[in-house]
Amino acid sequence: MYEYEAFNDPMQRPRYTGISTFMRAPHSESWDNVDIGLVGVPFDGGVTNRTGARHGPREIRNQSSLMRRKNQSSGICPYDLCNIADLGDAWIQKPFHLEESLDEIEYYFSQIHKRGIVPVSAGGDHSVTLPIYRAIACEHTVGMVHFDAHCDTGDDYLGSKFHHGAPFRRAVEEGLLDPKRTIQIGIRGSLNDLDIWKFSHDTGMRVVYMEEFAERGWKSIMEEARNIVGDGPTYISFDVDGLDPVYAPGTGTPEVGGFTTLEAQMMIRSLQGLNLIGGDVVEVAPPFDPSGNTALVGATMMFEILCVVADSVGQRLKLEE
């Protein structure tokens, strides 16, 4: 009923209007004909300090209205390459129990994985990546490009093995994640135990501390990253606390001294061409940033991930034709 035909596409309408979905993609309860599913995982039962990441998906949806259809830098238009929909939020019915919640998240992602949908998610705290791996790494282990201030390969803490500081130890132990095909970028911050990331080192993950990052620059690091993950199936996990807290104050465990958003964008873009099977942006905790900027940054990183993942999925779809 719009005079301008273009307005029948909600992405063309003024961006402050309408129901807010991820990137203004159509909201779909049905999963038919979806290649990439944008999914919210509103869970923060795994945080060890400041909560609030449960509100991440909604605020990222809100701010992601500022995203548009195409990537100016790479020229990728994900919507031309794949069918993309906002699938809503993963079903979490028992949020008071950490392990049961993780099981519910796993079940949800198993269902979409079964239908061949590649997930690009918005957390939620970092504990949610473990059940995603359980769902999508069932046939083969995955490699990972991991942006974060913390390796998240810690041990039991406060009575649990499954908090947001340990998912990747669990993922390796469960045979889901290949540590040799894992690189962790942006690591920093004071420690209670100098050996806290020993698991990463012992299992052969490549750990890039901020000092090295500052010394070598993002390009050199990302060349190494591409070599490490190779052409096996690879997942991108972006914890916003990898960024300096000025870019992402709305997060649970900020660590001063991180990389910039511009560096992050260029790093993600450099992953184009890899065999990408999904990705997530986690630890956006909106209550700690009333300005909404953290969620805008989260939405921007989600869009960058979507572009390279869609490029990879698009390649596979073409081959299948």
Q: Tell me how far apart the alpha carbons of residues 200 and 172 are, in angstroms, rounded to a whole number.
A: 10
Q: Lay out the site mask for a copy of itself across 64-103 (x = CB under 8 A, - = otherwise).
A: --xxxxxxxx-x-x--------x-xx-xxxxxxxx-x---
Q: Tell me how far apart the alpha carbons of residues 187 and 91 are, in angstroms, rounded to a whole number.
A: 32
Q: Lay out the site mask for a copy of itself across 245-284 (x = CB under 8 A, - = otherwise).
A: xxx-x---xxxxxx-xxx--xx------------------
Cα 185 off chain centre by: 14
The verdict on 30 binding a copy of itself (CB under 8 A) reads: no
Question: Strands of 84-89's sheet, edge to edge?
Answer: 84-89, 36-41, 118-123, 276-282, 234-239, 142-147, 177-187, 206-209
Of 300-319, which residues contact a copy of itself (CB under 8 A)? 300, 303
Closest C-alpha among 245, 246, 236, 244 to residue 282: 236
Q: Is 241 annotated for ligand binding?
A: yes
Q: Please, which residues have CB within 8 angstroms of residue 292's CB and are 6 or more apart in sequence?
A: 59, 62, 63, 286
The verdict on 165 binding a copy of itself (CB under 8 A) reads: no
Q: Measured from the CB atom, is 96 or 319 closer to a copy of itself?
A: 96
Taking the complex as a whole, the smallest distance from the CB of residue 234 to a copy of itself amounts, in Å, to 23
Instruction: Count how many residues are written for the chain.
Output: 321
Q: Tell me how far apart the alpha carbons of residues 282 and 226 are, in angstroms, rounded to a whole number.
A: 22
Q: Measured from the CB atom, is 35 or 241 closer to a copy of itself?
A: 241
The verdict on 20 binding a copy of itself (CB under 8 A) reads: yes
The verdict on 27 binding a copy of itself (CB under 8 A) reads: yes
Local structure of residue 271 (DSSP, 8 states): T
Of 103-162, which residues contact a copy of itself (CB under 8 A)? 111, 158-160, 162
Taking the complex as a whole, the smallest distance from the CB of residue 233 to a copy of itself amounts, in Å, to 26
Q: Tell me how far apart the alpha carbons of residues 106 and 88 are, in angstroms, rounded to a whole number.
A: 15
Q: Measured from the CB atom, is 37 or 40 closer to a copy of itself?
A: 40
Q: Measured from the CB atom, is 74 or 275 closer to a copy of itself?
A: 74
Q: Lay out the site mask for a copy of itself across 199-228 (x = CB under 8 A, - = otherwise).
A: ----------xxx--x--------------
Out of 115, 138, 191, 202, the only residue in the binding site for a copy of itself (CB under 8 A) is 191
The verdict on 5 binding a copy of itself (CB under 8 A) reads: no
Q: Is 244 annotated for ligand binding?
A: no
Q: Tell me how far apart the alpha carbons of residues 188 and 186 are, in angstroms, rounded to a whole number.
A: 6
Closest C-alpha among 293, 215, 291, 302 to residue 259: 215
Local structure of residue 26 (DSSP, 8 states): P
The verdict on 16 binding a copy of itself (CB under 8 A) reads: yes
Binding residues for Mn(2+): 126, 148, 150, 152, 239, 241
